[in-house]
Structure 1
Amino acid sequence: MAVILITGATAGFGKACAEKFAQHKHDLIITGRRQERLNELKTSLEQQYGVKVLPLTFDVREEQTVVNTLEAIPEEWKKVEVLINNAGLAAGLSTVDEGSTDDWNAMLDTNVKGLLYVSRAVIPWLKAQGRGHIINLGSIAGSQVYAKGNVYCASKAAVDAISQGMRIDLLPFGIKVTNVCPGAAETEFSVVRFKGDEDKAKDVYKGLKPLSAEDVADVIFYCTTLPPHVCINHLEITPLQQASAYYYHRN
């Protein structure tokens, strides 16, 4: 079966994707910053599904570490067919004049530059095989800016533009590119945004049945199962009670 490389696999969409692809007997390269979580996930997936899992602990923001780690893996693991650029975060919710530059750097370095560093390392492997699929985790925030979302929204707008650019650049090589853009999804996303304030995070989803990580993983998996001549370029997914980044119908 195919090798699937998933960044940010320790929680949320990344972990759900790892579980979904493992269920279908695909071998996995999982990356993240939390080594203990990666090792736990590796053990769990190998025992449950009989697949092979290679955990790689690194921060996608560190360019040279990304390059060195990926270059050093055994050749058989470089036969990646699907790259899921999931590592990302939102940090803070402030007006531009009150925003934290540390938060800005964390979002831009992870959501934009980290995605580029990993993609640049992996794309030559896909080209060598003459096929492959890159899934970039965008957001509806990439096309619909909301109050105090400024830099996060900008980072996801960049993911949208990068995805379109990748699609053009990789057109001659038979490599698919899909930008998957979820709306409100209850993962660790809001807990991270609000620096561990779980009550504040729960308020985001008050009166809603938000998407789950598994919902998004199901959609990602579906995109990778289409015939070779079919490519979904851009896909937006929201809960039923959310029509856009700012229109909700809460109970």
Structure 2
Amino acid sequence: MDKIMNEIPAHATLLRAAGTAERPIALVTGATAGFGASIARRLVRDGYHVIATGRRLARLNDLAAELGDALLPVELDVTDRSAVRALPDSLPEGWRAVDVLVNNAGLALGLDKAWQTSADDWETMIATNISGMVEMTRALLPGMVERNRGHVIMLGSTAGRYPYPGANVYGGTKAFVEQFTQNLRSDLLGHAVRVTNVAPGLCGGSEFSLVRLRDAGQAAAVYDGTQPLTPDDIAETVSWIVGLPAHVNVNYIEMMPVCQASAGLAVDRKMG
């Protein structure tokens, strides 16, 4: 931990000078694996105290054992509205003035066409990707506005901009993320609180495809012959965004590996 403290970068020092606790505080949802775990590790390295939330407490405890006292594990399901609303007042003293919220918790379920897919899967995606994100933001945003500092990072997706077969509700939830982000920026005009939508494309090294396809072989095949983005790439990007000078707001950043590009419009030539 002494090594980490010695590596605290300039932006963390500036946050402390602006009136935060000894170290600035970040809260990362869905920190049990993938993007969330990598972002938590990177922000601790950057000099943050990190509140790592998720449903699998054992994994959060493992992360705390790895990172030490700079990480506070908190069991939380973002779809549990009462728990999310109670969260700010339930945090320990010294952990309540959250400077950075990373709304990472989210998932995709299935690739079936809209008339074939599970309506329950649709509801789960909406509850997590939209309602959970909205509730987390509403719970922590008042404190940021009151302190006149803070940054809300949304984990969106290229699926929110480029449609593809089977993305139906998942893509719709990520389009909501982008519109919500931009409307928050409008509401926050005149306050020194930043909001950013980070929208990755093809990304391996997480549980995303396994959760979506519910089959390890199919999940692995998604990345055959590719060099996808990694969770560490996403963490590096989040670190860069929050480390920019306080007057700079990155509204939207889209990321793809070089093996991926938007495919253009599809045409069915059997319809003529």
Gaps of 5+ in 1: none
Aligned equivalent of 1:191, options 210, 221, 231: 210
What's the CA shift string for 1:36-84, capped at 9, x where partnerless? 00111111111xxxx4222111210110111123321134211111100
Deviations 1:208-247 (A, max 9, x none): 1000000111011100111111111000000011112679
* Match of residue 127 from structure 1: 145
Question: In structure 1, what is the Cα distance between the partners aligned to 2:225 and 2:264?
Answer: 15
Pair 1:107-2:129 in alignment: no
Please show how residues 195-234 of structure 1 align to structure 2 within 5 Å: 195=214, 197-234=215-252
Match of 2:11 in 1: none
Contact conserved, 2:87 with 2:139, CA < 8 A, in 1? no
Based on CA coordinates, which of the two structures has the bigger radius of gyration?
Answer: 2
Match of 2:100 in 1: 82
Report the 3-state secondary structure (helix = DSSP H, G, I; strand = E; otherwise coil) of the residue aligned with 1:38. helix
Query: What CA deviation, in whole Å up to 9, does each residue of 1:179-220 have, x standing for no partner?
Result: 00000001110000012x111001111111000000111011
What is residue 36 of structure 1 aligned with on the other side? 58
Name the counterpart of 1:92. Answer: 110
In the other structure, the counterpart of 1:116 is: 134
Contact persistence 1:83–1:133 (CA under 8 A): yes
1:98 is paired with a residue whose SS is: coil
Structure 1 CA distance for aligned equivalents of residues 189 and 94 of structure 2: 25
TM-score normalized by structure 1?
0.93
Give the Cα separation in 2 of the matches to 1:63 and 1:211. Answer: 32
Q: Provide the residue aligned with 2:88 in structure 1.
A: 70
Q: Is contact 1:146–1:246 with CA below 8 Å preserved after alignment?
A: no
Q: Aligned pair count?
A: 242
TM-score of the two chains, using structure 2 as the length reference: 0.86
Query: Does the CA contact (< 8 Å) of 1:137 and 1:180 recur in 2?
Result: yes
| Preserved contact between residue 141 and residue 245 of structure 1 (Cα < 8 Å) | no
Q: Which amino acid in the other structure matches residue 194 of structure 1?
A: L
2:44–2:71: 8 Å Cα contact kept in structure 1? no
* Alpha-carbon contact 1:8-1:31 (below 8 Å) kept: yes
Of the candidates 38, 44, 69, which is equivalent to residue 16 of structure 1?
Answer: 38
Between the aligned partners of 2:189 and 2:211, the Cα distance in structure 1 is 36
Which residue type is aligned with residue 26 of structure 2?
Answer: I
Counterpart-to-counterpart distance in 2, 1:205 and 1:91? 17
Q: Secondary structure at the match of 2:244?
A: coil
Indicate the residue corresponding to 2:75 in structure 1.
Answer: 57
Amino acid in structure 2 at the alignment position of 1:193: R
| Matching residue of 2:160 | 142
The equivalent of 1:4 in structure 2 is 26
Identity %: 42
Gaps of 5+ in 2: 1-22, 266-272
Amino acid at match of 1:32: G
1:174 aligns with 2:192: yes
Q: Which residue of 1 aligns with 2:14?
A: none
**SS in structure 1 opposite 2:249?**
coil
How big is the alpha-carbon RMSD for the aligned residues of Structure 1 and Structure 2? 1.3
Q: Secondary structure at the match of 1:146?
A: coil
